[in-house]
Amino acid sequence: MQTPDDTILSVEGLRVGFGRGAATVTALRDVSFTLGRGKTLALVGESGSGKSVTSLALMGLLPPSGRILSGRLNFRRSDGTVVDLAGLDAAGYRAMRGPGISMIFQEPMSSLNPLFTVGDQIGEMLLLHENVSSAQRDKRVIEMLELVEIPGAAARAKSYPHELSGGMRQRVMIAMGLICNPALLIADEPTTALDVTIQAQILDLMRRLQKELDMSILFITHDMGVVAEMADQVAVMYAGAVVEQAGVLDLFDHTRHPYTQGLLASIPRDDLVDGERLVPIPGSVPSLTALPSGCAFAPRCSHAQPECHRPVSLEEKASGHLSACIFDFAGAA
Ligand SMILES: Nc1ncnc2c1ncn2[C@@H]1O[C@H](COP(=O)(O)OP(=O)(O)OP(=O)(O)O)[C@@H](O)[C@H]1O
């Protein structure tokens, strides 16, 4: 399939398994989504739906027990050529990380080395990917710390991670993610560990940097409030597959998949009036080793019919709005 010019990433039928032979557990069953150039796609879903495994597969960072079973991960490089990331070897991935795709994680303390200054760690990323002198490296590190609005950047570059607050550490992680000017940034719950004020500042910063650096962002979150603030497009995951993808307004206003409707009905909102209650989705996420046949959400779905136990795939129900439900519920949640 051709990747259109305005698409930076097109994931098609990604399947990832853990373990070997008959004991293989398929964690991603058929993940498909597209991300437009310069846009933010939020990947949303409950815990265990496969968001992190998707991002690790994209980065070539699956643990040794995990492997891509099938699928294409078409990524458009800055020079316009398209590469299938699933076909890269270790050296190919190393070259791609940094200038092509870079990732920031939820918990900076586990990603930063406590024994090195933050300046050294940001600079190391640059040395891995670009042939720069140590003076150029130090200059770029300080410029980067200024870009992520760390006050007293030159002095802060000499700090160790434990000397910084949680919000400042997350800014350092963003600086590390951006120093090689990536075309695509994968942000895995980057603000979950922060309090709401700092979270808002980090989200503002990411939006500003996205515009300035013309970057595409794959934003992983389970927080629909963050989705509403950050995303242009949304892909909703359930039990290792994407069940709905649409533009953010379309997804909120014309929710088509019953699982997404359930997710939206179960989040706290400011506009609930007295007497209105949050409605949790009944039941729990199925085990990957005992998935029902057909639609994996059917056992929890109030609209389920006998035909839901036949295979179902993600299909375009309206322009740019895809849903993996045999019915079409295009109302508000
Ligand atoms: N190393 C592993 N070995 C075996 N199974 C794994 C491994 N890593 C993840 N999985 C399984 O893959 C599935 C998807 O996990 P993943 O971490 O991607 O979910 P998630 O949507 O990111 O959840 P969370 O929001 O809690 O991070 C889960 O069922 C998980 O148990």
- pTM passes above 0.80: yes
Tokens standing for residue 84: 């299938």
Q: Which residues contact 240 (CB under 8 A, 6 or more apart)?
A: 26, 27, 28, 29, 30, 31, 49, 50, 53, 288, 296
State what percent of residues in the chain have pLDDT above 70. Answer: 94
Ligand 1: centre distance to CA 204 (Å) = 29
Closest by Cα among 164, 63, 175, 65 to 109: 164
Amino acid at 109: M
- Residue 163 DSSP one-character state: G
- The pLDDT assigned to 295 comes to 95
Given pLDDT bands bounded at 50, 70 and 90, which one contains residue 276? low
Closest by Cα among 288, 216, 239 to 42: 216
Nearest CA residue ID for atom 14, ligand 1: 50
- Residue 288 DSSP one-character state: G
Given pLDDT bands bounded at 50, 70 and 90, which one contains residue 1? very low
Ligand 1: centre distance to CA 223 (Å) = 17
Ligand 1: centre distance to CA 48 (Å) = 5
Nearest CA residue ID for atom 9, ligand 1: 53
- The tens digit of pLDDT for each residue in 39-82 reads 999 999 988 899 999 999 999 999 999 999 999 999 999 888 99
How distant, in Å, are the alpha carbons of 190, 257, 266, 296, 320 from that of 251? 23, 9, 15, 20, 10
Ligand 1: centre distance to CA 288 (Å) = 10
Choose one of 11, 14, 16, 18 to mutate for the ligand 1 pocket test, by most ligand atoms within 8 angstroms of C-beta: 18
271: pLDDT strictly greater than 60: yes
Q: What is the DSSP string of 215-232?
A: -EEEEEES-HHHHHHH-S
- The pLDDT assigned to 166 comes to 87
- Closest atom of ligand 1 to CA, residue 55: 18
252: pLDDT strictly greater than 80: yes
- The tens digit of pLDDT for each residue in 283-329 reads 888 888 888 889 999 999 999 999 999 989 999 999 999 999 999 87
Q: Let me know how long the chain is.
A: 333
Ligand 1: centre distance to CA 239 (Å) = 10
Decide the pairing of beta strands 233-238 and 321-323: unpaired
State what percent of residues in the chain have pLDDT above 90. Answer: 58
- Residue 99 DSSP one-character state: T
Distance CA 327, CA 295 (A): 11
- The pLDDT assigned to 269 comes to 62
Q: Is 45 in the pocket of ligand 1 (CB under 6 A)?
A: yes
- Residue 160 DSSP one-character state: -
Decide the pairing of beta strands 25-36 and 7-18: antiparallel
Tokens standing for residue 26: 């398929």
Average pLDDT over residues 24-33: 93
Closest by Cα among 27, 12, 185 to 84: 12
Using DSSP's 3-state secondary structure scheme, residue 112 falls into coil
Closest by Cα among 165, 107, 117 to 137: 117
CB 174 within 8 A of CB 205: yes
Nearest CA residue ID for atom 1, ligand 1: 63
Element (H, E) at 322: strand 321-323
